[in-house]
A and B are shown apart, each in its own frame.
Chain A
């Protein structure tokens, strides 16, 4: 017997089942197909503008910072402002996301924008989020050439752009959108749920921001919900 069969057999022996029982198989198939929604906190179930306000409140609670811009064209200057505010070099790295590529970066003459992954040498990166969750102030980023995963973790400063209309009240809305975009049961290689900048409390439970990931997480919310 293979290791797989041995393991399944010992689970079945303990549960007193054969694995062939039709009702059991139906219960499992149904749950996977219908993925019923459980207890969803009322906190995030609010009108669109309140939802954005809740997102900002929760992101700041998690030590992230948030800027609002009324249209995408203002993103480059918001990025430049962020860099200046923290005395950082005027350089950012981004992925190939079209929504980022189409921005008028040239308006910020001193800002140098490069594209690609991070190899650890970059101090700041810009990603475009798939969405965000107001309930806990959480960003949702998906992997790929558009927004490489290394940009989320290696640079010290991570700027994330999100469309206000993509901020949902709960995680469940995000899963529905992922199924819609990638197909049922299919996921991108990595989905990163990010709630604030990296931190550690491993030394005498003193909370310190900036462990292995970014020391700063700055979110730019674009447009109206």
Chain B
């Protein structure tokens, strides 16, 4: 599974994505379905905007008191018979998981969908240690068969067509008759359900993520539609929860507010099918449930984001609305971003977690149209934060020399309004003169980055500022 970040090669990734016909066909669904469904769900609930404000405030309050809520949470988990483990780095978290699996003699591990699991590249790691991880979310199962990472945080296999999935099932499920009919998505799902049912029942350990951790009760919450997360955590000997520090929420009432915006923002459902609250291991009189309950709390660079310009990113509840509404994501899909988190939230979070030197292209891959911020359920100012990363990249001299000299050249004029007006005035007149015949340019010096792909329209002859002045004068003369 390719977990080495390819974010530094974003431009090449994007170029390849634009030329990939299967990917482009799949991405159409993102733009059409997700946007309409979220809109409808938001319109059905008059309180939706007020809930977004409340959700933002809950997250801000929790982050400002995160140390204390973590302490309260831990006390409750311990009281209910569970165990909290702390991991400063991804490697620490992997070792904690491995030790639990080894102690239980685990040979297979089922997994619910977890973005923290992706961040840890836990599957590669377990496999290298002779423990077989089995992804059970349908989308995650499909991409595990392909050795890929998710291309979307809630729809991991959204980049694939039905035909590609059929080919993968035929390649891997060789115990089934070769001439079986797999044309319909329902038959593909039924096949995966059958194959995974046996794995659920045989697994020694179940690993899930967490959408929320509740300080009041020491509860972890997963939100799913398939029911795979519940089978993953109910059937094996132990349930391991992978969660990052910012999943914390104070109370059940606070969780209610966040749940009311989560599914509506993500899939446009009123509520996801399964919202499961788990507290500790199987009780004395429980006939089912895991014998052990562990929570691994991961930092991995997040505590350093507190108190700084990127703290608000920690409000994110991973609904995926920002990428569903992003024109850049619609064009290149998730894999181009080169690491675990794609789209606008990835463009802000990835530089924090793996370094702006590696992920500097991502905050630059934005048109600043602002749709991500418009739909974010916790109102994260994503465009402003992408701008902050661009500034940092510039300050640290990480941007390419051509960009820097271009900006310096532009700044020379931008800081001198008269010079700027004079130079742009000449340019507008010259371009109008040369472009008069065709009304457009197929090529311009220094602008080949634009003209290689589309024509540059020839201007009318006067700059915006000149026209503004003329019109103002005309209206005041009247």
A interface, CB within 8 angstroms of B: 2-4, 6-8, 10-17, 19, 24-25, 27-28, 31-32, 35-43, 58, 61-62, 95, 116-117, 119-120, 136-138, 143-145, 148-150, 152-154, 170-172, 175, 178, 185-206, 208, 210-214
Contact = CB atoms under 8 A, between A and B. Distances in A.
Given A62-B269, A117-B287, A212-B200, 5 more contacts: A3-B85, A15-B66, A144-B283, A189-B286, A190-B279
B331 interface: no
B317 to A, nearest CB: 15
A3 B86 contact: yes
Given A11-B245, A190-B276, A25 B68 contact: yes
Nearest to A64: B273
Interface in B280-311: 280-283, 285-289, 297, 299, 303-308
Contacts of B87: 3, 7
A37 B286 CA distance: 31
Contacts of B219: 187
A32 B216 contact: yes
A30 B33 CA distance: 43
B270 A211 contact: no
A11 B156 CA distance: 31
B109 interface: no
B287 A116 contact: yes
A187 B279 contact: yes
A43 B306 contact: no
Contact of A32 (B215, B231, B269, B282): B215
Contacts of A117: 287-288
A103 B194 CA distance: 34
A28 B68 contact: yes
Nearest to B58: A38
A213 B185 contact: no
B271 A136 contact: yes
A137 B305 contact: no
A170 B256 contact: yes
Contacts of A178: 252
A4 to B, nearest CB: 5
Among A12, A19, A208, the most chain B Cβ lie within 10 Å of the Cβ of A208
A201 B224 CA distance: 12
B225 interface: yes
Given A15-B66, A150-B288, A212-B226, A7 B245 contact: yes
Contacts of A204: 26, 29, 161-162, 185
21 contacts: A4-B84, A7-B297, A10-B88, A10-B303, A19-B68, A28-B250, A32-B215, A32-B216, A35-B250, A61-B270, A136-B271, A138-B271, A149-B288, A150-B235, A187-B80, A187-B217, A189-B278, A193-B275, A202-B155, A211-B227, A213-B231
Interface stretch (B137-145, B341-349, B438-446, B461-469): B137-145
A66 B136 CA distance: 30
Contacts of A40: 256
A185 B260 CA distance: 22
Interface in B379-412: none
Contacts of A95: 287
Among A4, A7, A58, A144, the most chain B Cβ lie within 10 Å of the Cβ of A7
B15 interface: no
Contacts of B138: 200, 202-203, 211
Contacts of B251: 31-32, 35-36
A122 B190 CA distance: 17
Interface string B40-66: 000001110011001000100100111
Interface stretch (B70-78, B365-373, B415-423): B70-78
Contacts of A171: 252, 256, 259
Contacts of A120: 197, 200-201
Given A35-B251, A35-B253, A149 B234 contact: yes
Nearest to B32: A205
B158 interface: yes
